[in-house]
Amino acid sequence: MSALPAGPAASPALQTARWLARPIRFLEDNRRRYGDTFTVMFKGFRTPLVMVSSPAVVRALYGEPGHAMPPGRQLTLKPLVGARSLLLLEGAEHLSRRKVMLPPFRGDRMRAYEPIIRDASARALSEWPVGRAFAVHPSMQSITLDVILRAVFGVADEARRARLHALLGSLLAATTSMSLQVQVLFGRMAPLAALQEQAREIDALLLAEIAARREAPGEDICSLLVQAVFEDGSGMSDGEIRDQLMTLLMAGHETTATGLAWTLDLLVRYPSVLEQARSGDEAFLRAVVSESLRLRPVVPLAGRRLTVPLEVDGLSLPAGTDVTPAMWLAHTRAEEYPEPYAFRPSRFLSNPPSTYTWIPFGGGVRRCIGAPFAELEMRVVLEEVLARFDLHPAGRGAEGIARRNVTFSPRHGTRVVATPR
């Protein structure tokens, strides 16, 4: 068996502590010492993890459709999204779902959701405090949750939407709650029982929505799933649609809100870019979104377990190895991005990067199906924010990174001072 690439010799506990406390430093230190490809060992993982970042290796990894999903995904996600989730299926079952779930997210269809995004933004932005520091991340979470409930779930009724907003908001907060995790670790199951009670109410509400969409389909994604037909002529059961809706919520809500919070954090620290972003030039705002996702990749890793050996550019990894691109490292290669640490959206206008040097949405057969949705939503929310407010950073230092589940998120929620224009 070939040896894995070199990597840090520290104990798994120490490597994990460094990754959790200072992820960027951990990645940069390893790149400096070992190059583009290195092997790390995290506590709780039974097998080492090879991190890669050169475009040729990322292409070879994501280009092989047969690789399996990374370990641990089933364990953490199944209780929330259900066993039939697109995120958890593999092989032919996964591909058949992807085939029917991709078309509803096509770029041209997304335009229909623009009014919903503008309206959700207007409601949330009307509550922003004026002239004093506050964190924008919770407001972005509220917008992205509202947008998913309307555009994806299709919940038109205000009262039902408010109830689902409250229930899903607290379920999602609990999944990132350190206090809950500690209580459960010490055997206190009461909070978990309360969560299960909430989950039952959510399921009942979702099944009622699905039944209503079967009766009278609309423009939302749930209506399209209700009408979807697999190659064998069968459709999705109500239970499966429930799983896919929870999947879209889990995959699309926090990620987009966090991408928005990071974009605002970068914009307030680069006033000339912020001014240009206000100009109403749609292409420039798209470039702002792309550059933010490059410099602040919300999902730092999206790996695979190899089912066949990976052999490329002198690298040879045996089947069974866990391999992940490190988005930060792939996005900060000076060969592809001159002055890689500068926030410079115009680079996406003059010289758009090739596919495997910009991978905030992963790649290959598991690439994010919500990418066009997320990009549109980010651009439209930004337009609404910039049209209403002048923004300044609340502090001098750049935001640090905190980990929330699988995301890299601004530690203090992006604190700004907003004044109406």
Instruction: Provide the minimum distance between the beta carbon of 377 and ligand HEM in the complex, in angstroms, as a whole number.
Output: 7
Among the listed residues 168, 248, 171, 238, the one whose alpha carbon sits nearest the alpha carbon of residue 208: 238
Length of the chain in residues, anyone? 421
Closest residue to ligand HEM in the complex (CB): 370
Three-state SS for 32-56 is HHHCCCEEECCCCCCCCEEEECCHH
- For 222-283, the DSSP string reads HHHHHH-B-TTS-B--HHHHHHHHHHHHHHHHHHHHHHHHHHHHHHHH-HHHHHHHTT--HH
For tokens 């079967």, name the residue.
214
- CA–CA gap between residue 257 and residue 296 (Å, rounded): 13
Nearer to ligand HEM, 13 or 308 (CB): 308
Residue 373 C-beta: closest distance to ligand HEM, Å: 4
Nearer to ligand HEM, 15 or 292 (CB): 292
Q: Least distance (Å) from ligand HEM to the CB of residue 129?
A: 26
For ligand HEM, the closer CB: 89 or 268: 89
**Least distance (Å) from ligand HEM to the CB of residue 259?**
4
The nearer residue to ligand HEM, 8 or 303, going by C-beta atoms, is 303
**Residue 191 zone, left/alpha/beta (φ > 0; ψ -120 to 50; rest):** alpha
Least separation, in Å, of the C-beta of 3 and ligand HEM? Answer: 26
Residues of this chain that interact with ligand HEM (CB under 6 A) are 86-87, 98, 152, 247-248, 251-252, 255-256, 259, 298-299, 302, 360-363, 366-370, 373-374
The CA-based angle 125-127-128, given to 5 degrees, is 70
Which of 326, 310, 327 minimizes the C-alpha distance to 318? Answer: 310
Question: What is the closest distance, in whole angstroms, from the C-beta atom of residue 94 to ligand HEM in the complex?
Answer: 6
368 annotated ligand binder? yes
What are the structure tokens assigned to 299, written together?
């999902």
Q: Minimum distance between the CB of residue 99 and ligand HEM, rounded to whole angstroms?
A: 11
Where does 43-184 show beta strands of DSSP type E? 49-52, 134-135
Choice between 58 and 386, CB closer to ligand HEM: 58
Smallest distance, ligand HEM to C-beta of residue 257, A: 9
Closest to ligand HEM by CB, 164 vs 248, is 248
Half-sphere exposure of 256 (CA within 13 A, CB side): 31
Structure tokens at 166: 């409250």
Q: Which is nearer to ligand HEM, 206 or 417 (CB)?
A: 206
Burial class (CB in 10 A: 0-12, 13-18, 19+), 184: middle
**Sheet-wide strand order for 415-420:** 134-135, 415-420, 389-393
**Residue 395 near residue 131, CB atoms below 8 Å:** no
Nearest to ligand HEM of 8, 328 (CB atom): 328
Binding positions: 368
Binding positions for heme: 368
